[in-house]
Amino acid sequence: KVVSVTGASGFIASWLVKLLLQRRYTVKATVRDPNDPKKTQHLLSLDGAQERLHLFKADLLEEGSFDSVVDGCDGVFHTASPVALDAINPQAELIDPALKGTINVLRSCSKVPSVKRVVVTSSLASVLLTGKPLTPEVLIDESWFSDPALCKESKQWYVLSKTLAEEAAWNFSKENGIDMVTINPGWVIGPLLQPTLNLSAEQVLNLINGAQTFPNISSWWVDVRDVANAHIQAYEIPEASGRYCLVERDLHNSEILKILRKLYPGLPLPEK
Ligand code: NDP
């Protein structure tokens, strides 16, 4: 079968492409710059890439950019979205590409009869910011939806971009009869296939490089290979529907440092 993956050069998407090729799919993969070897070389050297990987140039902000990509595909994985916590112009850098980009991709899917299911990479960011307390006795589930007003109030622009994009995706897919499933992972970690550092892997590097103190916080983490695999299951299993939150472990920064100390005893890591 033929499937497409948007933002294929990214951290999660690279693993998704690798696992899809392993499962013998033909993959139409989009990148913004197919001539940049930093974005494509690791994909082109994957097992099966020569025979079954096809690269396309596409940009989230260009209307119709994904038309020829999704045409002929049975499944579409929309992972592309900017990931940044330091945007200077959040509307242009985060919200427009996330929101308009998602609708662009879904609109392309709605034009072709071949697409049977779309899997959208959303985030736990679109789930958590509800104003409800996040204490240990509270059970967070897929019925939670972050509140855009709270995102704006707290200037959490990445969270806002993912929340608006997912909300718009559900509205568009319902109005246009698209079978859509979302994957909502916490912070994603694991081996990098791409040569550049993405934001969630950078969080761990910041801990390693950090001063002698580190932020007194816990986060929800999940392995990138599980996230990629969840995307494939969300596409392959007919009964899959709605949203799937993915978290493997809640870890305090001090626990992450403990793990790193065990794995790399020579590293000069912060103590407190
Ligand atoms: P990366 O930064 O590694 O990948 C992001 C991808 O989005 C890149 O391929 C990038 O393309 C593409 N992209 C960004 N802007 C545009 C644009 N205007 N047009 C086309 N493509 C664009 O991030 P991750 O792999 O970490 O994230 C992938 C997805 O997973 C995102 O949707 C993110 O929100 C979500 N997610 C990530 C989590 C994490 O902890 N990493 C947690 C939860 C959700 P290019 O290479 O050309 O820049």
Q: Do 201 and 189 contact (CB within 8 A), yes or no?
A: yes
Q: Tokens at residue 252, please?
A: 């305090």
For the entire predicted model, the pTM comes to 0.96
Answer whether 257's CB lies under 8 Å from 216's CB: no
CA distance 270 to 79: 34
Does residue 161's CB lie within 6 angstroms of at least one atom of ligand 1? no
**Among protein residues, the one whose CA lies closest to atom 4 of ligand 1:** 10
C-alpha 10 – ligand 1 centre gap (Å): 6
Tell me the pLDDT of the chain (272 aa) as tens digits: 999 999 999 999 999 999 999 999 999 999 999 999 999 999 999 999 999 999 999 999 999 999 999 999 999 999 999 999 989 999 999 999 999 999 999 999 999 999 999 999 999 999 999 999 988 899 999 999 999 999 999 999 999 999 999 999 999 999 999 999 999 999 999 999 999 999 998 888 888 887 557 788 899 999 999 999 999 999 999 999 999 999 999 999 889 888 888 888 888 776 65
In the numeric block, the tokens 């494939």 are attached to 232
Task: Answer yes or no: is the ipTM higher than 0.95.
Answer: yes
Q: Ligand 1 centre from 212 Cα, in Å?
A: 31
Task: Report residue 196 as tokens.
Answer: 């550049």
Instruction: Answer yes or no: is the C-beta of 73 below 6 A from any ligand 1 atom.
Output: no
CA geometry: angle 88, 93, 99, nearest 5 deg: 140
| Cβ atoms 70, 140 nearer than 8 A | no
- Atom of ligand 1 at shortest distance to CA of 31? 47
Q: Strands 187-189 and 249-252: what pairing?
A: unpaired
